[in-house]
Structure 1
């Protein structure tokens, strides 16, 4: 997909997200969706960076020592704390803590619809442009590795697959977006697909 990435272009593409229903880990498993869940608020930073002349998405591989989701691929992010003003503040704080991304090195361009996870979080993806010269520096206690995925790979729907695995004794389906040695799946892959769908819609409008 050939698309011009700019702050104004992304704001335009993401504008419909305000009217789009939240995505969910249960999109592919609607019969497993629980009722009466008190979703906990969280946010992540979907960072786009022009690296070596190509646009990329910045992702992390979580530390294998973490209690929750060890070794999984994720955006920088986490739960919204009491001292955070909003989801944007939380996403920027988490990105600073996890990959040493300075607050002034991001330009926020919009939000994706919230994503509900099987672990009980309602996650707001915050889309931002990251300064070209930024180099991620992982915080070892949380992040084993930070890496970039070409945006062209993310935007190509043929790179996505629907797979399944057993979790808590139940077979569940999920999106996967493999890239080289990295297995991007679950909530992260679903949010990237939602982002791609909005950019495709804006391109074809």
Structure 2
């Protein structure tokens, strides 16, 4: 019989305290080194993806994991514009390519959040990086977890984002809502994490990073 796993209930203060204790802003090992294979990535749910990713050109990127400090915290997510050539309409975190002018992945994540959704960094308190996440297409993504002070206003960049919305952190961190799905991709069956919230389907990299957030903050 499979053991039931329950997710601990954390208040906003407890979550941010744990994040501050367990995460840091040390540059993740392997961001640009082909000899280092990140331990987290699409291969969490599908081990064969590691071999595919290992032969792809490395594409360093950073995303912001914005946790809004409401009495019941939420995670701010975006829906990519439908006209984009890559992953149109998918749910994601604000973020993108690490530019040469960016001092650190933190600066990349904050810059991209300003450019994509107009999130003023004055409302954002960076807490630390999750584990480096490797995608099947060769992206190596640094997720920056941050506390976001409520009261911000957003201005969406329509060339990149169609919509922005918030999902309760407690829902996203409930292990019972983490599913494993599959679909055909370039002739092979690909397996990945997925979370369904109301009419929103959160899957792939975004769900994988949320799973990493659960592992780093909620596991004892």
Cα distance in 1, alignment partners of residues 81 and 152 from structure 2:
21
Structure-2 change in CA distance of 1:105 and 1:128 (3 Å) = same
1:40-86 CA deviation, whole Å, 9 max, x = no partner? Answer: 100000000024x3100000000001111100000000010111111
Give the count of matched residue pairs. 199
User: How far 1:200 moved relative to its partner?
Assistant: 1.5
Match of 2:147 in 1: 129
Residue pair 2:123, 2:149 contacting (<8 A) in 1 also:
yes
Q: Could you tell me which of 68, 91, 101 is aligned with 1:73?
A: 91
Distance 2:65 2:157 in 1: 18
Would you say the 8 A contact 2:131–2:142 is kept in 1? yes
Q: In the alignment, which of 44, 51, 70 is matched to residue 27 of structure 1?
A: 44
Aligned pairs for 1:57-72 (under 5 A) are 57-72=75-90
The match for 1:13 is 22
Task: Find 2:122's aligned residue among 83, 100, 104.
Answer: 104
Displaced runs of 4 or more, over 4 A = none
Structure having the larger proportion of residues in strand: 1
Shift of 1:22: 3.0
- Contact 2:180-2:194 at 8 Å conserved across structures: yes
TM-score, length of structure 2 as denominator length: 0.85
- The answer as to whether partners of 1:137 and 1:146 remain within 8 angstroms in 2 is no
Cα-Cα RMSD? 1.8
Q: Match of 2:69?
A: 50
**Gapped runs of 5+ residues in structure 1?**
none
Once the two structures are overlaid, the 10-residue window that deviates more, 190-199 or 1-10, is: 1-10
| 1:114 and 2:132 correspond | yes
Query: C-alpha offsets along residues 148-193 of structure 1, whole Å, 9 cap, x if unaligned?
Result: 0100101100001100001111110000011111100001001001
Question: Counterpart of 1:54 in 2: which secondary structure?
Answer: coil
Q: Distance in 2 between matches of 1:28 and 1:48?
A: 24
Query: 1:26 is paired with a residue of what secondary structure?
Result: helix
Return the match for 1:3 from 7, 10, 13.
10
3-state SS of 1:11 partner: helix
Verify the 8 A CA contact 1:112 1:195 in the aligned structure 2: yes
**Counterpart secondary structure, 2:73:** strand
TM-score normalised by structure 1 residue count: 0.90
CA distance in 2, matches of 1:76, 1:22: 23
1:128 is paired with a residue whose SS is strand
Q: Report deviation, 1:120.
A: 1.2
C-alpha distance in 2 between matches for 1:62 and 1:114: 22
